[in-house]
Amino acid sequence: MTHSLAASPSVRWLRSLLLGSACLASFACGDSSGEGAPADGTPNDVPADGSNPGEAPGERHLSAIGVQLYTVRAAMQTDFEGTLRRLADMGYREVEFAGLFGHDPAQVKSLLAELNLTAVGSHVDWNRWRDDPTAAIDETLALGAEYLVFPWTPDTERLTLDQWHGWAALINEVAAASNERGLPVAYHNHDFEFTAIDGALPYDVLVAELDPALVSFELDLYWLAKAGGDASALFASQPGRFPLAHVKDLRRSDQAIVDVGAGDLDFAAIFAQSAESGMRHFIVEHDNPTDAMQTAQTSIDYLEQLTY
């Protein structure tokens, strides 16, 4: 994929992803002083860098690890409850939904409580944001998810900058209604946001036009790396705007998605910047795993032993 970046204000952070410094972290740094829990619902004894209390730099571990259930979507389709139980048994404490497979959100919330799982977010399809945002908000609140996430747009809906300006306006409008009801909103990227249209990057449009008081970003580390982005410069230019991250690894030789720890992204370097980026939720994802449950197990095993 060819990227024309020279005319973009993001050239600083899109130039230099040496895959050894990819992107990861979690959200709004929140109050960890004991005066009250952060707005994203993270317990107030969890440090702002997503680590366990009392751990020193270089010795920190993630306090909670999540998984995007799109990774195990085939298993969720055939055995919804059993799949969630297996993930909980692996040690996952957060899950992010990409559809409920016909299940009632309130019943799913009860199941998650039984399994000691938290719904950190729900990816709700773009057409529901446009056509019936109130229902999308209602469902996400009933599920008990911490974030309503805008997941992607199809090719025909992102051909022009005018379309991107329109999406930013719509997301702000839905986010205002959602935040009014106590539900934060986040935007999830792919790589197409970093391909210039008429000399401008769609991601620049989103950064400039999405209201930071209403909309945060869920940073997909694989897609940012594949697009040639520099996470460190992005964090420096937009501190605190990245509450969630998709922990998805990239193999440099063929640009493939691989199990976390099997690729070339330096997650420790990214996690170490969590206080600046604002990231607090670290969500394993693989778009097309050969063995989804094994991918989930391999990825959490790697992340549990990782220090940063």
- What does the pLDDT look like over 218-238, one tens digit per residue? 999 999 999 999 999 999 999
User: What is the SS3 string spanning 227-280?
Assistant: CCCCHHHHHHHCCCCCCEEEECEEECCCCEEECCCCCCCCHHHHHCCHHHHCCC
pLDDT of residue 281: 98
Average pLDDT, the chain: 88
Backbone angles phi, psi at 110, to 5 degrees: -65, -40
Distance in angstroms (rounded) separating the CA atoms of residues 279 and 238? 12
Helix (H) or strand (E) segment spanning residue 142: helix 133-143
For residue 48, the model assigns a pLDDT of 72
pLDDT(12) > 70: no
15 close to 5: Cβ distance less than 8 angstroms = yes
CB atoms within 10 A of CB 176: 14
Does residue 28 register a pLDDT over 60? no
The 8 Å CB, 24+ separation contacts for 168-172 are 168/205, 168/206, 168/209, 168/210, 169/209, 170/129, 170/130, 171/129, 171/210, 171/215, 172/209, 172/210, 172/211, 172/214, 172/215
Under the banding of pLDDT at 50, 70 and 90, the label for residue 46 is: low
Which one is predicted more confidently, 167 or 22? Answer: 167
Given a cut of 70, whether residue 24 has pLDDT beyond it is no
- Tell me what pLDDT residue 45 has: 54
**Angle between helices 133-143 and 161-180 in degrees, nearest 10:** 50
Domains, the chain: 101-253+265-292+301-308 (3.20.20.150)
**What's the confidence (pLDDT) of residue 154?**
97
Region 32-58 average pLDDT:
61
When pLDDT is averaged across residues 281-291 and rounded to a whole number, the result is: 98
Q: Which amino acid is at 84?
A: L
Instruction: Summarize pLDDT for 167-209 with one digit per residue, the tens.
Output: 999 999 999 999 999 999 999 999 999 999 999 999 999 999 9
User: pLDDT, tens digit, for every residue of 66-86?
Assistant: 999 999 999 999 999 999 999
- The confidence score (pLDDT) of residue 52 equals 87
pTM score of the predicted model: 0.85
Could you tell me the pLDDT band of residue 50, with boundaries at 50, 70 and 90?
confident
Question: What pLDDT does residue 84 have?
Answer: 98
Residue 125 has pLDDT above 90, yes or no: yes
